């Protein structure tokens, strides 16, 4: 075998080895810089379809996807929608089931926070089924939330704890992902409110949060009611129905509910 053929074979072996290395170790020394499941996936390393999923780097490191404490709480509360790490947008629909003792008076509190711990929305999950049981009871909720400045957040479903005792507290934590901040469309109702010299204000009402447009004269409208022209500047969220013959002594927090009426504020209705 002449020297040229030996050289050619040696060259081809080295070349094949080089490309094989690049194929199986695409990041070379950068593999040491991977510190999370997301980084491992983005680098193109294989993902094992276990639950939770796992991603392994060529140097033998394994990263496990964060699914919150779902497996730990699975015998107490289960969520069907949204699933861990699902991409979400407002309004967020929530569905699942929980043991009856997770509720109190048929509901329990929920909240959505971003990666910085900023509270984006709060509300209540409710059931229409009999909740005074130890069996699983279905629940549902809907949350409107403000645009997040982070890519990830956490949906927290709290066990209702009327006692306030820490030993009775519990919660399910579900990691979620938001639309990219720069790709999120502006809320047209919020934009319209500000264009009409209104100020946005979020309030907790009944089973969730709701946005209101507040004006300098003290009047206010639900932001979407104002956008649809169902409510106008000069009107109030709490409507005064004095003179209807009914004494409304309690303010219920829903649109169209009368203001509180007493003998002093509404003598024609309250004696």
Domain ranges of the chain: 3-64, 77-183, 188-227, 240-271
Q: Say which residue, 183 or 14, is predicted with more confidence.
A: 14
Q: What is the pLDDT, as a whole number, of residue 256?
A: 52
> How many Cα atoms occupy the beta-carbon half-sphere of 68 within 13 Å?
24
Mean pLDDT computed over every residue of the chain: 81
CA distances from 228 to 13, 175, 184, 222 (A): 72, 34, 22, 10
Mean pLDDT of the 97-112 span: 95
Least confident among 151-155, 213-217, 239-243: 239-243
Answer for the pair 260, 246: CB distance below 8 angstroms, yes or no.
Answer: no
Q: What is the mean pLDDT of residues 32-45?
A: 84
Q: Over range 122-149, report the average pLDDT.
A: 91
Report residue 29's pLDDT band, with 50, 70 and 90 as the boundaries. Answer: very low
More confident: 35 or 16: 35
Instruction: State the average pLDDT over residues 93-112.
Output: 95
Contact 248, 236 (CB under 8 A): no
Domain 77-183 has CATH 3.40.50.150: no
User: Span 246-271, mean pLDDT?
Assistant: 70
Band of pLDDT at residue 207, cut at 50, 70 and 90? very low
Q: Is residue 18 over pLDDT 60?
A: no
Quote the pLDDT of residue 252.
57
Is the confidence at residue 271, as pLDDT, over 60? yes
- Could you tell me the pTM of the whole model? 0.59
Decide: 152 and 178 in contact? Cβ < 8 Å. Answer: yes
- At 227, the pLDDT band (50, 70, 90 cuts) reads confident
For residue 17 the two structure tokens come to 């080895």
At 246 the pLDDT is: 77
CA distance 208 to 127: 14
pLDDT at position 265 is 78
**Quick one: pLDDT at residue 60?**
85
pLDDT higher than 90, residue 124: yes
Expressed in angstroms, the distance from the first to the final Cα of the chain is: 118
Predicted local distance difference test score (pLDDT) of residue 206: 47
Q: What is the mean pLDDT of residues 188-194?
A: 85
Q: How far is CA 159 from CA 98, 145, 169, in A?
A: 9, 21, 6
């Amino acid at each position: 075998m002449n020297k040229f053929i030996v050289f050619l074979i040696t060259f081809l072996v080295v070349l094949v080895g080089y490309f094989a290395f690049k194929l199986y170790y695409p990041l070379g020394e950068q593999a040491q810089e991977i510190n999370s499941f997301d980084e491992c996936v983005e680098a193109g390393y294989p993902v094992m379809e276990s639950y939770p999923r796992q991603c392994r780097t060529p140097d033998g490191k394994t990263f496990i996807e964060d699914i919150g404490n779902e497996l730990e709480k699975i015998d107490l509360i289960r969520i069907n929608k949204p699933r861990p790490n699902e991409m979400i947008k407002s309004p967020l629909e929530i569905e699942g089931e929980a043991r009856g003792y997770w509720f109190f008076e048929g509901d329990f509190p929920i909240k959505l926070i971003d990666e910085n711990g900023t509270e984006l929305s709060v509300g209540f999950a409710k059931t229409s089924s009999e909740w005074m049981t130890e069996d699983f009871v279905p629940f549902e909720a809907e949350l409107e939330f403000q645009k997040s400045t982070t890519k990830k957040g956490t949906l927290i479903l709290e066990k209702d704890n009327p006692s306030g005792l820490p030993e009775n507290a519990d919660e399910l934590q579900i990691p979620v992902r938001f639309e990219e901040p720069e790709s999120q469309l502006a809320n047209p109702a919020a934009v319209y409110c500000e264009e009409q010299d209104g100020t946005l204000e979020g309030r907790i009402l009944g089973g969730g949060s709701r946005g209101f447009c507040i004006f300098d004269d003290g009047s206010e409208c639900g932001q979407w009611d104002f956008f649809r022209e169902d409510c106008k500047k000069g009107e109030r969220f709490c409507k005064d129905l004095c003179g209807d013959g009914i004494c409304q002594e309690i303010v219920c927090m829903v649109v169209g509910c009368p203001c509180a009426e007493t003998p002093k504020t509404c003598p024609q209705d309250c004696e």
